[in-house]
Amino acid sequence: MLPLIASPGPSGAQYRLWDLNAAAPVEVGKIDLPVAAPIRKAAGDRFVALSSYPGYPIRLFGNDSTGFKADDRVRIGDDRLGNTSPDGRRLVLVAPAGAPERLEGWNLDRDLPEQEWSIEPSDKLLQSGERIWSVWFDGDGGRFATLAAGDEPETSKLVLWNGEANPPEVIATLPIRSQIVWYRAALSNDGRRLAHTPDAPDEVVIVDLSGESPQELTRVRDERQIAAHFANLAFRPDGKRLAIGSQLGVTVVDLPSLRPVWAMRSPGAVEWLDWSADGHHLVTSNANRTAYVLRLDEID
C-alpha cells in the first residue's frame, strides 16, 4: 500500500491509501491530520505521520474494521522529520535544532515503537530553516544517509551511516557542490549503489558503495528527455532500473549501462515517485494534483 494523495480533509489534510496488488488501484482507507505532514510506511499495515510543526506530535496509524486510526499510546515527540526504511521497521528522526542537536533511531517492528539510540553527530546536521531536508535508506535500513554542513563555508555533504551498528557509525562522506535545495538522492535496495545530484540539478551521479570507499561509476544527463532539475530518484527494488522524475516527466534508465529504456512526458511536473514492492508499477505524484500508477512490465 502507498499513500498517494493529500487533499483538504474535514479539519486539515486527508491522505488516501491505495492497494496496488489488484488489477487496478483500490482505495483502502484515509488518514486525517490537523496539518499536512509526511506519511511514511511502518511495519505491517501501519503508517507513521511525521511532524512538520511544533505542538503536533508524530502519530502512528493502524487499520481496524473502522479504518485507519491513530494509536494514542504512541509518544515519540513533535517537530521532528526524517524517514522510515522501505520495510517500515526502522525510523530515523532529526530532533529539533538546538543544543544538543541529535539523530534518533526508533524500532517500529513492535506493538509500541521503541527508541533504540540517540546520538549527537560530529558534523552539524544540514537544515532548511529549522529542519533537515531528508533521510535516505536502503531496503532494510542497514545503511542510511543524512545531510550535513560541509567542511568549508557554504558547502554541504552526504553522510553515509552503518545502520546495523548501535549506535550507527559513519561509513563515508561525499561532498555536495550544488545548491542543497536542488539536491536529490536514492540508495539501492541492497545498499550497494547511490544515485544523487552532487554537482548539478540535472545530472545524476551513480556511486558504487560496495567497496572500502565510495567510487563514482558514471553520470547520466539525458537532456532530450529530462529538463530543468531532477525532482526525485528511485531505484527499482531489484536494482536494475533507476527512475528519474523531473519538471517535464519521467525517464527510466537501465543499470549499469544508464541507457534510457522508457520515458514519458507528463502534463505537470513530477514532484515525487517510487516503485511498488514488486517492481511492476511506478507511482508518481504530480504538481497538477494528480497521481499516476504506471505499469512498466514491458521495459524488461
Q: Locate 188 and state its grid cell.
A: 539501492
pLDDT tens across 231-269, in order? 789 999 999 999 998 888 898 989 878 788 998 888 778
Alpha carbon distance 161, 119 (integer Å): 12
Residues 234 and 290 in one domain: yes
Does residue 229 have a pLDDT over 70?
no
Residues 97 and 139 in one domain: yes
Residues 71 and 132 in one domain: no
> Which domain-ending residue is among 79, 107, 140?
79
pLDDT tens across 4-37, in order? 445 554 567 888 888 877 777 788 888 888 887 8
Residues 94 and 114 in one domain: yes
pLDDT mean across residues, the chain: 83
State percent of the chain over pLDDT 90.
33
Domain membership flag for residue 184? no
Residues 294 and 193 in one domain: yes
Domain membership flag for residue 15? yes
Alpha carbon distance 212, 89 (integer Å): 27
**Domain of residue 198, residue span:** 189-300
For residues 202-226, average pLDDT = 83
Alpha carbon distance 165, 131 (integer Å): 25
Q: Is the pTM of this model over 0.85?
A: yes
Domain membership flag for residue 183? no
Residues 61 and 30 in one domain: yes
Residues 129 and 159 in one domain: yes
Residues 69 and 96 in one domain: no
> Which domain-ending residue is among 128, 148, 176?
176
Domain membership flag for residue 158? yes
Residues 264 and 215 in one domain: yes
> Which domain-ending residue is among 142, 176, 210?
176
Alpha carbon distance 23, 295 (integer Å): 10
Residue 276's DSSP bridge partners are: none
| pLDDT score, position 128 | 44
Residues 71 and 101 in one domain: no
Does residue 223 have a pLDDT over 80?
no
Q: Locate 145 and state its grid cell.
A: 544517509
pLDDT tens across 143-166, in order? 999 988 888 877 889 999 999 999
| pLDDT score, position 3 | 46
Alpha carbon distance 74, 289 (integer Å): 32
| pLDDT score, position 234 | 94
Does residue 129 have a pLDDT over 60?
no
Domain count, the chain: 3
Domain membership flag for residue 16? yes
| pLDDT score, position 100 | 65
Residues 71 and 99 in one domain: no
Residues 131 and 50 in one domain: no
| pLDDT score, position 228 | 57
Q: Locate 116 and state its grid cell.
A: 533504540
| pLDDT score, position 246 | 85
Domain membership flag for residue 162? yes
Q: What is the CATH number of the domain that holds 232?
A: 2.130.10.10
For residues 81-109, average pLDDT = 84
Domain membership flag for residue 42? yes
Domain membership flag for residue 182? no
